[in-house]
Structure 1
Amino acid sequence: MNTLYPYVHASGKRMILFSNRRALLEQQRRQAQGTDATCMICQKLEYNFNHGMSSIEWVERNFDYIIIDEAHYLFQDALFNRNTEIMLDMVEQLQKSKVIILMSATADLLKKHFVGRIKKTYHVSADYSYIKAVYCYTTPDSVNKILNGVPPGEKVVMFGDNKKRLRTLHREYPDSEYLNSGNKDESLAFRQITQNECFSCQMLFTTKVLDNGVNLKDNAIKHIIIEQTDMVEFIQCLGRKRVQSPDDTITLYFLNSVFSIAGRYKDLKRDLAIVQQYLNARASGYEQGFWKINRTEYIPLMFDNSHHLVKPAYYKALSDCAFYRDILNKKTSLVQ
Structure 2
Amino acid sequence: MNITECIQNDYLEWKIGDVISISAGTGSGKSYFVQNVLAEYAKSQGEFILYLVPRLQLKKQIEKDLEKEGIKNIDVRTYQSYESIDEQFDMEYVQKVYKYVVCDEAHYFFSDAVFNSTTDISFERFMNNENAITLLLSATSAILLSYIKKFLSHRKLIDYNYGYDFNHVKKIEAYQKHEVLIESMNWLLEKNHKTIIFIQSAKKAYELYEKYKEHSVFVCGKESSYYKHVNEEIVDEIIKARKFNSLFLITTAVLDVGVNIEDADLHKVIIDMSDIDTVIQCLGRKRLVGDNDYVHLLIRNHTNQSIGGYIVEEKARFEEGQVFYKEGREALATKNYRKGFSDIIYVNKQGMIDVNKMKYVKASINYKWYLKCLDNFGGYLSEIKKALKYEDKIEIRDLLNIKEERENILKSYVGKELIGKESQKELLQQLGFKKNRQLVQSMSGLSKILEQEKYVYKVNSFRAYRIVDGVKIQCRIYVIETL
TM-score (norm 1): 0.90
| 1:278 aligned to which of 324, 343, 366 | 324
Structure 1 residues not aligned, in runs of 5+: none
CA distance in 1, matches of 2:103, 2:296: 31
CA distance in 1, matches of 2:147, 2:317: 21
Per-residue deviation at 1:288?
4.6
The match for 1:181 is: 221
1:333 equivalent in alignment to 2:367: no
| 1:72 aligned to which of 107, 118, 134 | 107
| 2:194 aligned to which of 155, 159, 166 | 155
Q: Which moved more, 1:324-333 or 1:19-28?
A: 324-333
Per-residue deviation at 1:23?
0.7
Q: Which moved more, 1:307-316 or 1:291-300?
A: 291-300
1:126 equivalent in alignment to 2:164: yes
SS of the equivalent of 2:113 reads coil
Within-5 A mapping of 1:229-244? 229-244=274-289
Within-5 A mapping of 1:129-144? 129-144=167-182
SS of the equivalent of 2:159 reads coil
CA distance in 2, matches of 1:125, 1:314: 25
Question: Residues 281, 122 of structure 1: CA spacing in aligned structure 2 closer, same or farther, 3 A cutoff?
Answer: closer
The match for 1:107 is: 141
Residues 292-319 of structure 1 deviation map (CA, whole Å, 9 limit, x = unaligned): 7746423111112442211111111111
| 2:59 aligned to which of 14, 19, 25 | 25
Asked if the contact 1:79–1:302 (Cα under 8 Å) also holds between the matched residues in 2, the reply is no
CA distance in 1, matches of 2:257, 2:250: 15
1:301 equivalent in alignment to 2:339: no
CA distance in 1, matches of 2:168, 2:158: 30
Residues 271-309 of structure 1 deviation map (CA, whole Å, 9 limit, x = unaligned): 322333334442xxxx35743774642311111244221
Q: Tell me the amino acid that sits aligned with residue 42 of structure 1.
A: Y
CA distance in 1, matches of 2:331, 2:172: 53
The match for 1:81 is: 116
CA distance in 2, matches of 1:124, 1:157: 27
1:41 equivalent in alignment to 2:78: yes
1:56 equivalent in alignment to 2:91: yes
CA distance in 1, matches of 2:234, 2:169: 24
CA distance in 2, matches of 1:261, 1:289: 29
Per-residue deviation at 1:335?
2.7
1:93 equivalent in alignment to 2:133: no
The match for 1:14 is: 48
Q: Which moved more, 1:163-172 or 1:216-225?
A: 163-172
The match for 1:268 is: 314
SS of the equivalent of 1:55 reads coil
Per-residue deviation at 1:152?
4.6
CA distance in 2, matches of 1:200, 1:322: 41
Q: Which has the larger radius of gyration?
A: 2
Q: Tell me the amino acid that sits aligned with residue 139 of structure 1.
A: K
Per-residue deviation at 1:270?
2.3
CA distance in 2, matches of 1:86, 1:270: 23
CA distance in 2, matches of 1:208, 1:189: 18
CA distance in 2, matches of 1:201, 1:23: 18
The match for 1:164 is: 203
CA distance in 1, matches of 2:256, 2:60: 15
Q: Which moved more, 1:60-69 or 1:323-332?
A: 323-332
Q: Which moved more, 1:123-132 or 1:14-23?
A: 123-132
CA distance in 1, matches of 2:138, 2:257: 9
Aligned length: 329
Higher RCO (Cα < 8 Å, 6 or more apart): 1
Question: Residues 289, 111 of structure 1: CA spacing in aligned structure 2 closer, same or farther, 3 A cutoff?
Answer: closer
Per-residue deviation at 1:246?
2.9
CA distance in 2, matches of 1:149, 1:179: 22
CA distance in 1, matches of 2:146, 2:183: 41
Q: Which moved more, 1:178-187 or 1:57-66?
A: 178-187
Residues 7-51 of structure 1 deviation map (CA, whole Å, 9 limit, x = unaligned): 11112221110011111111121222231211111111113xx23
| Poorly superposed stretches of 4+, deviation over 6 Å | none
Q: Tell me the amino acid that sits aligned with residue 260 of structure 2.
A: N
CA distance in 2, matches of 1:68, 1:57: 18
Question: Residues 15, 226 of structure 1: CA spacing in aligned structure 2 closer, same or farther, 3 A cutoff?
Answer: same
CA distance in 1, matches of 2:193, 2:332: 57
1:194 equivalent in alignment to 2:233: no
RMSD (Å) for aligned C-alpha atoms: 2.1
| 1:222 aligned to which of 267, 274, 285 | 267
CA distance in 2, matches of 1:28, 1:99: 21
SS of the equivalent of 2:354 reads coil
Per-residue deviation at 1:208?
0.3
CA distance in 2, matches of 1:140, 1:334: 20
Q: Which moved more, 1:230-239 or 1:70-79?
A: 70-79
CA distance in 1, matches of 2:269, 2:335: 48
Asked if the contact 2:320–2:332 (Cα under 8 Å) also holds between the matched residues in 1, the reply is no
